[in-house]
């Protein structure tokens, strides 16, 4: 399945995944589950859940400054 990962306000990434969790997608884009929320259809999803959506939004909770 093709999955688009949109890091809101930053980048968009495209991945081809067979079996992966949302935490696996976060690792691919270099983010920790501790600093973001993963959203599918406007709702948060657990990072250990299997990817079942073609579009994922990632919201950063912490950003240095």
**pLDDT tens digits for range 33-48:** 999 999 999 999 999 9
Q: Under CATH, domain 2-60 is a member of which superfamily?
A: Beta-grasp domain (3.10.20.30)
Contact 26, 36 (CB under 8 A): yes
Q: Percent helix, strand and coil across the chain, each rounded to 5? A: 10, 40, 50
Q: Name the residue ranges covered by the structural domains of the chain.
A: 2-60
**pLDDT, averaged across the chain:** 93
**Single pTM value for the model:** 0.88
Q: Judge residue 22's burial from the number of C-beta atoms within 10 Å of its C-beta, 0-12 exposed, 13-18 middle, 19 or more buried.
A: buried
| Three-class SS state of 51 | coil
């Amino acid at each position: 399945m093709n999955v688009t990962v949109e890091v809101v306000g930053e980048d968009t990434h495209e991945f081809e995944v067979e079996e992966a969790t949302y935490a696996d997608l976060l690792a691919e884009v270099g983010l920790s589950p501790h600093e973001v929320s993963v959203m599918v259809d406007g709702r948060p999803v657990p990072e250990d859940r299997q990817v079942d959506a073609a579009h994922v939004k990632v919201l950063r909770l912490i950003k240095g400054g």
